[in-house]
Amino acid sequence: MAQAVKVEAEHAIASMLHEYRYNSWMINEHWPLNEPHVRLMIDDVVTRFPPHPGLHVLDVGCFNGYISFLFRLLGYSVTGTDACELADRREVFDKAGIKFVHSNLNELRPFKNLASNSFDIVIIAQVIEHILNHPLGLMLDLARLMRPGGLMILTTPNPATVMAAVRSLRGKSLLWGTRDFIDEPKIDDEQVITKADIHYREYTHEELYHLITNAGLRVEKSLYLGLGSSLSQPALKRVIKKSRLSQSLMSKRLFASNHYFLARKPD
């Protein structure tokens, strides 16, 4: 990434954090866990598609809109899409000039009203684990929206970790939100498929690779990124720091909390 673009990226991140400064969950929990893959995402996008208002980004499952906001600040035209309506996101989007499209990602073709070949970059970050139905329909529809040569970046939790194995052996819940979901079940079907309050399914590297390629896209990069919240404990960090084996594993799937895939639509 050129130095000037790096400066712009840092400015965009600082502006985003300032915009969301009153959202304590976003600042203290969500951003620290997701910062590594968001920074890589920005690097990958601006390297391949330098910022320009003629380049269109689709932020799938945009939630509170911080990724949409980042790419808009960088100079792209941005559309965010989600099932839930959030007043705070609407305020941010209106101010920044970001388009919002309501969508239910559990439908077979959730973007049937959007034109084919209309987006240069599709971002689906920490979303696919919230999809109740088979995700291939969603992926095929997203591939349809991408222009030839377009870029998709997908991130999602990595379930194949040491800590997940430990939790399983201890009889603990493996998927985020499961305990709350069981304690307060959503009886209404409409609530179940439009509320992102649980991970219905988490995917291995192999499963994601086949899902992306079955949608007609070509995987150019796949990485394991980040650390689970349990690895933020100081004592565990000290053990890892002293162990050469552990240090080598830190960049591998055994401890990485997230998958990161970059894929292209063939020309």
| Per-residue pLDDT at 176 exceeds 80 | no
**What is the average pLDDT across 232-259?**
57
Predicted pLDDT at 160: 65
Predicted pLDDT at 158: 83
Question: How would residue 193 be classed by pLDDT, with cut points 50, 70 and 90?
Answer: very low
What is the Cα–Cα distance from 79 to 69, expressed in whole angstroms?
10
Tell me the backbone φ, ψ of residue 104, rounded to 5 degrees. -110, 105
Which position has the token pair 């799938």?
A: 60
CB atoms near residue 89 (< 10 Å): 21
pLDDT in tens, 217-238: 999 999 988 765 444 445 445 5
* H-type alpha helices, 49-177: 66-74, 87-96, 136-145, 162-169
Predicted pLDDT at 164: 60
Which position has the token pair 């971002």?
A: 123
Question: How would residue 243 be classed by pLDDT, with cut points 50, 70 and 90?
Answer: low
Q: Which of the pair, 186 or 258, is modelled with greater confidence? A: 258
% of the chain beyond a pLDDT of 70: 75
**What is the average pLDDT across 166-174?**
60
| Per-residue pLDDT at 161 exceeds 80 | no
**What is the average pLDDT across 32-41?**
92
Question: How would residue 47 be classed by pLDDT, with cut points 50, 70 and 90?
Answer: very high
Predicted pLDDT at 168: 58
**What is the average pLDDT across 96-107?**
92
Judged by phi (left if over 0) then psi (alpha if -120 to 50, else beta), residue 203 lies in beta
Domain 3-157+199-226+257-264 has CATH 3.40.50.150: yes
Q: Which of the pair, 242 or 100, is modelled with greater confidence? A: 100
Q: State the maximum Cα–Cα separation within the chain, in Å, rounded to a whole number.
A: 55
Predicted pLDDT at 166: 60
pLDDT in tens, 6-18: 889 999 999 999 9
* CA separation, residue 81 to residues 71, 100, 120, 217, 218 (Å): 14, 6, 16, 21, 24
Predicted pLDDT at 67: 97
Mean of the per-residue pLDDT values of the chain? 83
* CA separation, residue 181 to residues 172, 196, 200 (Å): 14, 11, 10
Closest CA to 63 of 196, 203, 176, 262: 196
Lowest mean pLDDT among 22-36, 95-109, 219-233: 219-233
